[in-house]
Amino acid sequence: MRESSGEPAAVTRRRLFGITAGTAASLVAADAPAPALAGSPTVAGTPAVTSAGASAREVTSLDAEGAWRRLAGGNHRFVTGHQTHPHESLRWRESLVEGQHPFAVVLGCADSRVPPELVFDHGLGDLFTIRSAGEVLDNSVLGSVEYAVEHLGVPLVVVLGHAKCGAVSATIDVVRGRGQVSGDVSVLVRSIEPAVLATPPDGDEARFLAAAVDNQAKRVASLMLERSVTIRTAVAHHGVKVVAASYQLDTGAVTRLT
């Protein structure tokens, strides 16, 4: 799946898509945002990245944990109100016309309150974003993840659930006989139902919903590995990681679950 040349496969693929490390490095330097606060506390148990700016070589050679640290650093800026809004300039946008070099896939809910680029304080070309209600994993979503992993060399896949997810809440109502859905919304409910059924009972409705949300994110991450030979191969042989995470609407913080 990965090239046998001496340079990192991720860099090779991105060169095939039209951006050399040297060219992108000069563009990053021109577009570099102001650094975040030094000595930032950790987010979700991971040391925060102290600067949103990085050379193209640093970005394209990131491993999975390095990619997570960049996401965590951006989320810390978002939580504390110190966003740098990187990679939004005209020059950077023009640099992406011939190709892209995202460092992470984020499969998130379609909920309008959880846009990954804002939550992680990153910009154009940084994240390969896929969104579906309740992070439901169908064939098109799975194929999109496979494309990013296999053809773009992305080292990290994040399944991002969020607090008070309407799709999970609706599924709980259906499971408990308190409601019903019609049309293709029923497809979403059927897909989320196993996560709800696997969540231990809890008399506190809010706690149960939060636990079901986390279970759905973790279940989808596991399903990716179960259903995709491409992703399993990337994990086993090329250091790719698939993780689940959860976003809190009130604080803006993302917590890594797996």
Residue 30's domain is classified under what CATH number?
3.40.1050.10
| Strand pairing class (241-247; 254-256) | antiparallel
Which residues, other chains included, contact 180 with Cβ-Cβ below 8 Å and sequence gap of 6+? 174
Do 216 and 195 touch, CB atoms closer than 8 A?
A: yes
Which of 142, 106, 104 is closest to 224 using CA atoms? Answer: 142
Report the C-alpha gap between 133 and 131 in whole angstroms.
7
Is residue 2 included in any domain, yes or no? Answer: no
The residues with which 129 forms a beta bridge, in sequence order, are 106
Q: What pLDDT was estimated at residue 60?
A: 58
pLDDT in tens, the chain (258 residues): 433 334 444 434 443 333 344 444 444 444 544 333 333 333 444 433 333 445 444 555 799 999 999 999 999 999 999 999 999 999 999 999 999 999 999 999 999 999 999 999 999 999 999 999 999 999 999 999 999 999 999 999 999 999 999 999 999 999 999 999 999 999 999 999 999 999 999 999 999 999 999 999 999 999 999 999 999 999 999 999 999 999 999 999 999 999
Give backbone dihedrals phi and psi of 90, rounded to 5 degrees, phi first. -60, -45
Report the C-alpha gap between 177 and 181 in whole angstroms.
11
Q: How many CB atoms lie within 10 A of CB 226?
A: 11
Report the C-alpha gap between 239 and 235 in whole angstroms.
5
Is residue 3 included in any domain, yes or no? Answer: no
Q: Provide the residue range defining the domain that includes 48.
A: 9-256
Tell me the whole-structure pTM to 2 decimals: 0.80
Q: What pLDDT was estimated at residue 138?
A: 97
Q: What pLDDT was estimated at residue 61?
A: 79
Q: What pLDDT was estimated at residue 85?
A: 97
Is residue 25 included in any domain, yes or no? Answer: yes
Report the C-alpha gap between 7 and 25 in whole angstroms.
17
Report residue 187 as tokens. Answer: 């497809």
Is residue 1 included in any domain, yes or no? Answer: no
**What is the domain count for the chain?**
1
Is residue 80 included in any domain, yes or no? Answer: yes
Do 64 and 241 touch, CB atoms closer than 8 A?
A: yes
Which of 87, 77, 81 is closest to 54 using CA atoms? Answer: 87
CA distances from 13 to 17, 53, 107, 127 (A): 6, 22, 22, 16
Q: Phi/psi zone of residue 123: left (φ > 0), alpha (ψ -120 to 50 degrees), beta?
A: beta
DSSP-derived 3-state class of residue 256: strand
Report the C-alpha gap between 78 and 253 in whole angstroms.
8
